[in-house]
A and B are shown apart, each in its own frame.
Chain A
Amino acid sequence: MSELSPHIPDIDLITFYSEKGTSLFSRISPWTKGLMLVLIILFISLDKSLILAVCLYLVVLALYGLSGLPIKKLFQWYAMPITFVLSLVLILMWNEPGKAIFSLDLPYFSLTLTDNGVLLLLTLIFKSLASVTYTLFFLMTTRYDHFSAIIFRVFPSPIDQIFLMSYRFIFMTLKMVKSMLKALRSRGGGLLKSTRRQSKMFAEVFALTMIRSYDRADRVNKAMEARGFNGKYIAVTRIPSIGFGEYFTMFVAATLMIYLIWFVKLPF
């Protein structure tokens, strides 16, 4: 998706790193990385401290960096989660109980920003960055055949089927969008002339993608029927099992999580 914007995660680049699999973390069982993701989500859900959220983010960022994954790209990709968090928290952070920092009087009500409001904003940003960074780390250090086999085993049908089909379809649709944008740019279509013109152009690309995707889905369906599709297909790749050291690491991480959340009192 780098063709559209450097701020949208590039599925080709993510797959390149996952298939290359040269880092130490690529050799860790995908089950371990998946379970650690569950642990991180639990941590994020239970934690209320900004300090812990920042620490978690720094640990995850260190893992990402040690894996040899592109840090600059990661910061560019943060644009979307940060925008998402801000779109919610910029509404929620007002009028939190606490010490007032800034107040804005409006005709029928007033908005007050407190220290707790700022803490809420920062905590949610760091939590979202930690989860996004770890998810990307997981995706970029796990081979796709392992990943799809995990989905097939963990999720019930039809969720697993939808995932298995949609992933390949995303690749094909993105390829289609890329070639359409190239065709547009090759004739000067990518140059910004006016917002109205640009919006019209993107609307056309979007509409064409929809139509072509539908057409392609029809042909894919036909190809599946030609091989006797009966509503179910499978992923058979053997997933590397969890080693003793990995069990131990997960145990330590879970214990640490419980200790930090319930037994350590931090100022904020």
Chain B
Amino acid sequence: MDCASHIYPDGSMGIHEMCFRVLEKEIVALCGPNGSGKSTLLEHLNGLLRPSSGNVTVMGKKLDLSHMDIWRDVGIVFQKSDDQLFAPTVLDDVMFGPVNMGMSIEQAKVQALDALKTVGAEKLSDKMPSYLSGGQKRLVCIAGVLAMKPRAIAMDEPTSDLDPLHAEMVENIILNLKNEHGLSIVIATHDMDMAARIADRVCIVKDGSIIVEGVPSSIFYDKELLETSGLRQPKVVQIYEGITTNLGIGMEKHPMNADDLVKTIAAMIRHG
């Protein structure tokens, strides 16, 4: 995304001179307050929106009228699962994308069942979407995109409104998609804890632009930056900062998840 801007028909600015890139097999977390432009950015990656100015290039294809099939390469999982599930049964819904790609019914069915298996939802194939729990719906939404075998997936708030168990499942699926399937994943999220745990790179989005980007351990330890961006530090960072401040010692390490935090504290205790 090269200095891309998007202005909505009502004149409001979606993104403003946004410069953004995603590498292969990378998880990028877009963190920012509501209305900062995260979702607008995601919709550009799938070709749902086209920039008012600037360029968006996906897999070497410039997003314009000659390349309207970016959806084949970049899937998008929406924030509200109910908006994404519209077919009579789970299997029909997951097959929707592959069929649109021109696959035969049999081939689409195989890919759909394979995608459902990847997210651990193969038993739901003949269920009606209306009667699934929120967590199950999210898994089916991810399967619906995965069945198209995209090279990158954009996810809008993938763990919002989920119970801890399903949120953890979704996190594991995201990591699995990157590690086992080699996908690039872009996540728009307010969940700083999840971003700290799984992201390779974090972009802070404010007023339609990326104001800073970097590895989680540098971004999430910059308290001032996060506060001015309307965000909070992840719990792990807050706890670690609290402990080191109380003890009056410096932060030599930057733990980003509960395991690292426990190891760091244990080492601190051992070394007095």
- How many residues does chain A have at the interface if contact means C-beta atoms less than 8 Å apart? 31
Q: Are B86 and A237 in contact (CB under 8 A)?
A: no
Chain B residues whose C-beta falls within 8 Å of the C-beta of A237 in the assembled complex: 89, 91-92, 126
Tell me whether A233 and B96 are in contact in the complex, defined as CB-CB below 8 angstroms, given that A145-B88, A171-B130, A228-B101 are known contacts. yes
Q: Are B97 and A228 in contact (CB under 8 A)?
A: yes
Pick the most buried of B75, B82, B109: most chain A CB atoms within 10 A of its CB. Answer: B82
Q: Are B83 and A234 in contact (CB under 8 A)?
A: no
Tell me whether A145 and B128 are in contact in the complex, defined as CB-CB below 8 angstroms, given that A168-B86, A219-B78 are known contacts. yes
- How many residues does chain B have at the interface if contact means C-beta atoms less than 8 Å apart? 36
How long is the Cα–Cα vector from A235 to B144 in the complex, in angstroms? 15
Chain A residues whose C-beta falls within 8 Å of the C-beta of B148 in the assembled complex: 227-228
Chain A residues whose C-beta falls within 8 Å of the C-beta of B46 in the assembled complex: 226
Pick the most buried of B88, B91, B101, B130: most chain A CB atoms within 10 A of its CB. Answer: B88
Beta-carbon contacts of B85-105 to A below 8 Å, as 1s and 0s? 111110110011101110001
Q: Are A226 and B48 in contact (CB under 8 A)?
A: yes
Instruction: Give the dominant DSSP class at A's interface.
Output: helix
- Contact residues of A between 128 and 145, Cβ < 8 Å to B: 143-145
How long is the Cα–Cα vector from A147 to B121 in the complex, in angstroms? 23
The answer to whether A26 has its CB under 8 Å from any CB of chain B is no
Beta-carbon contacts of B49-71 to A below 8 Å, as 1s and 0s? 00000000000000000000101
- Between A and B, 24 residue pairs with Cβ closer than 8 Å are A15-B130, A19-B131, A144-B128, A145-B91, A164-B87, A168-B86, A169-B86, A172-B82, A219-B83, A220-B84, A220-B86, A222-B43, A223-B86, A226-B48, A226-B71, A226-B75, A226-B78, A227-B100, A228-B72, A228-B97, A233-B100, A234-B95, A235-B88, A237-B91
Q: Which residues of A approach B to under 8 Å, CB–CB? A: 15, 19, 143-145, 148, 164-165, 167-169, 171-172, 175, 216, 219-220, 222-230, 233-237
Q: Which residues of B approach A to under 8 Å, CB–CB? A: 43, 46, 48, 69, 71-72, 75-76, 78, 80, 82-89, 91-92, 95-97, 99-101, 105, 109, 126, 128-131, 144-145, 148
